[in-house]
Structure 1
């Protein structure tokens, strides 16, 4: 992994550390619900393993009795007078992470497969690793990769359009989806009002309506099949295909998001005084059509934050396809897989053995290593890569927002509330956590813990929380 410029990252992580510690809740965004029921469930306390058992665990692992400095300590902390084990301990940061993490990684709640990576963001040095380069099923932590790929491809200011065009005679109107799953009724209403004005200006009062979803190709239904966690993937949809008025989490979904969106648009046109003949039909705009109305999504930076905080699967698949479109690849599961992988490789993320079968992490065939995740998080903190900052600011805040709102509830056992920011991952038998934590001495650490064949989320999630909390102040 290339080593970032030291002086820039030392300053950058110190500033970011203070911002994260002091303003974590305010910066996290307004989204406060989880994506899956399992992620929303409050973690049930499992058998606790902690500091009292560290000495015995060290002996069992054949580790030295006395803790040693972390690899980054001499280069980074020496000039600050904090490069010794005693100084590190006084600052509330473990001097030898193996002594702290090995016993916690042994928790049976994590199942037989577990990998870990902890990196000092200021230096890019790995402070601890256990199978860090081994590709594992990442579940929703793959959204960190999706976010980084989209941001590097498109930039944080990119907006996704939804467009209405009219044929040369104005009598055929086409609603064209650009791939914005967050299009809401207010946006659709603005499109209808703008279209009605344009038609009146042309003296047209009666139209036929078609809708165009050709921007996306390949299967629309995710490999997991129809599911409340994701709608059919379409370039045109309203409110992520949700039919219950919700804005996050599992929900009943439309089986035909594009058709339903077009029907809602037709109703709004009629309300605006335009006669729409028949039902909307799928089709492309005829030659010579001109744009009469357009609306845009929020900037990509905001979409990334919403995706990460809420673990939004529909938005994740959309951003993966936007990345594919930018790379001039098919906007399909296969095209997005290659485009995202290429983007990650371009910023130095280790992708050997990686498989990005989807953008959301719902596909069990996804593979990503803990080292890849911590590399992405380290890149996102690099002052030379400000376009990646939403990868960090979108991470849920422990105990407060998104999929971490109900976790870190016991400060005695898991003191990471407000200081741990991390993306969760939950599938049956898979539990993961990857993010950042600010230590008591102001250092920013990136971590990733991936566990497979876990007995249940109620055992695995508290174990993951304790691992991340062990890196936090007083952990």
Structure 2
């Protein structure tokens, strides 16, 4: 073996040999030739390798005729034409996305009621304000904290009654005929039933109307016993233990029984008039007088007995004004009696038992139908008299969005709300510097010993409509009322630009 190496060949010779080898391989095996050809070329050096690769690149196979690709790849002219590079196309940029609805500018909220909301007259203040149209929360200070509502509760009672009973519902009072000269006066919660003289409830049905019907049915048959039946609900919880007894003795609230006359007022023509401890017994006595006046035999000396009637033979019936009318009498004057009646009747007609204990669940179910969330509210009565009621300003403001829109019959409530400086319990309010909001605030007032409240909606100075609830807890009424008016008037002036907490 000799250590001497043969003379090196020229680059041109090596290129020719490699090209011949690649062509022969491509003719035999059209697919794998590329790898083999490239491997052969790589040994030649960088300059020649590039040239060979370009010269030997076959045309792509046709999916329709793979055999034709193999035959044409062996032809130099076709191999060369396959290497022609098409000019690169310039991609067309996609169009820029443009939103269909471009929001307009949002007004800056720069107006504050912080000073008015910090007045000492508001005590432990809770407040919540919303834009009724947009749902935006404009102000909240302890707004999610549930607390006593005072008579703002009557707005919840109204909404519940409208949901359960409907505005056209009328409350009946009936008389049944039992055996042996006994008849029964049966109450179903109509506190407006009147003795027939002056009354704070215009258009109320009367005992005289019932007595005339009884006379027409009985003729000369004597009446020996008059049963008074208030068992439509159990009167064991007729008086809430958290209510001050003075509410009855002064004349703001009666015992809550299903049978009474003129709201059990000593003076039927006065809204505030002392109430008795036995509204059912008083109703029986007044009915006995009405029967005697109608000429019913034996009625003047008939015995009064309190129990449930044993008969379904109805011989006389009268009905209250529609619930919508009763709401129009209750809300402007903040009538506690009607509120308690509507609460208990709503409980009974919803399938519950008419008790005070049932009210929380009854209200929650009814109020949910308006699209608001009543979770967590606590309802002890229909009037708001109890300090144990618990409803947040947040909830009241959200309910008022539905009220001002008149949703599902709530226009009845909207139309009944007192108006600042003009009607109801707001007629004498909003004076002095607060007079700027007279005629613009539609709201229910509330007052118990521990709280003064206001909740409703405002037609603000900038044309927006706001819903709100303000609670002044723990301060005196003398201090709370002007402070509530001031913070409400400030809210009116700010309108939708209100900000802060």
Alignment TM-score, normalising by the size of structure 2: 0.71
User: What corresponds to 1:10 in structure 2?
Assistant: none
Measured in 2, the distance between the counterparts of 1:293 and 1:473 equals: 56
1:251 corresponds in structure 2 to 273
CA distance in 1: counterparts of 2:230 and 2:329, whole angstroms? 24
Alignment of 1:268-283 (within 5 A): 268-274=290-296, 275-276=298-299, 277-283=301-307
Q: Tell me which residue corresponds to 1:263.
A: 285
Deviation at 1:393, TM superposition (A): 1.4
Quote the residue 2:472 is aligned against.
Answer: 451
**Structure of larger gyration radius:** 2
Contact 2:208-2:294 within 8 A present in 1 as well: no
Distance 1:400 1:338 in 2: 36
Partner Cα separation in structure 2 for residue 450 and residue 148 of structure 1: 20
Deviation at 1:461, TM superposition (A): 0.7
Paired position in structure 2 for 1:101: 113
Number of equivalent positions: 376
Q: 1: CA distance between counterparts of 2:362 and 2:113?
A: 35
C-alpha contact 1:109 1:463 (8 A) present in aligned 2 = yes
**Deviations 1:63-84 (Å, cap 9, x if unpaired)?**
xxxxxxxxxxxxxxx87x9x64
Matched, 1:222 2:240: yes
Deviation per CA, 1:181-238, whole angstroms, max 9, x where unpaired? Answer: 11122311111111111212xx524342111100121311222253232111110111
1:468 equivalent among 457, 469, 488: 488
d(CA) in 1 for partners of 2:435, 2:159: 29
5 Å-filtered alignment, 1:389-408, equals 389-408=411-430
How far 1:473 moved relative to its partner?
5.8
What TM-score comes out, normalization by structure 1 length? 0.75
> Which of 255, 262, 270 is matched with 1:232 structurally?
255
Aligned to 1:151: 162
Contact 1:222 1:233 in 2 (8 A): no
| Partners of 1:437 and 1:445 within 8 A in 2 | yes
**How well do the aligned residues superpose, as a CA RMSD in angstroms?**
2.1
1:376-406: CA deviations, max 9, x gaps?
A: 11112335x2411122112111122222122
Q: More deviation in 464-473 or 307-316?
A: 464-473
- In the alignment, the residues of structure 2 paired with residue 453 and residue 118 of structure 1 have an alpha-carbon distance, to the nearest angstrom, of 21
Compute the displacement of 1:422 (Å).
1.1
Structure 2 portions without partners, runs of 5+: 1-102, 197-205, 496-501
Is 1:178 aligned to 2:188, yes or no?
yes
Contact 2:238 2:255 in 1 (8 A): yes
SS across alignment from 1:361:
coil
Deviation larger for 122-131 or 462-471? 122-131
- Structure with the larger RCO, 1 or 2 (CA within 8 Å, 6+ apart): 1
- Does residue 323 of the first structure (1) align with residue 349 of the second (2)? no
**What are the superposed Cα offsets for residues 298-326 of structure 1, whole Å, 9 maximum, x if unpaired?**
11112122222111111111111111112
Match of 2:229 in 1: 212
Q: How does 1:231-380 map to 2 (within 5 A)?
A: 231-248=254-271, 250-274=272-296, 275-276=298-299, 277-287=301-311, 289-380=312-403
Are the counterparts in 2 of residues 433 and 464 from structure 1 also a CA contact under 8 Å? yes
